[in-house]
Amino acid sequence: MAACTRRADPDVIASPALREPLAETFAWLTGRIAEVLAEGQRRGEFTAALDPAETAAAVVAVVQGGYVLARSADSAEPFDRAIRGALALLAAHA
């Protein structure tokens, strides 16, 4: 399964038409997560030291990276570990 993903990646990278919807989706997702984190700050759920935009970018990267690692390992464990790590980092700012 991972081999199919690797073969498709160069096709996506080479095509602006294929990259554009992905870029738009990731930008929307990152922006939405940043909004949620900023709202959490306003409610006192996160410290002022948390940067919502930077943290949102990290969360998206962790989820996507965890997905890739899980696919390559044919196991959900790498994804689960990545998510637990991201939650621990967020908890440090609670």
Query: pLDDT tens for residues 3-53?
Result: 444 555 777 677 788 888 888 999 999 999 999 999 999 999 999 999 999
Q: pLDDT tens across 43-52, in order? A: 999 999 999 9
The amino acid occupying position 31 is G
Q: Kind and range of the H or E element at 49?
A: none
Number of structural domains found in the chain: 1
Sorted by sequence, the CB contacts under 8 Å of residue 78 that are 6+ apart come out as 66, 69, 70
Q: How far apart are CA 81 and CA 72, in angstroms?
A: 15
State which residues form the domain around 13: 2-91
- pTM given for the model: 0.80
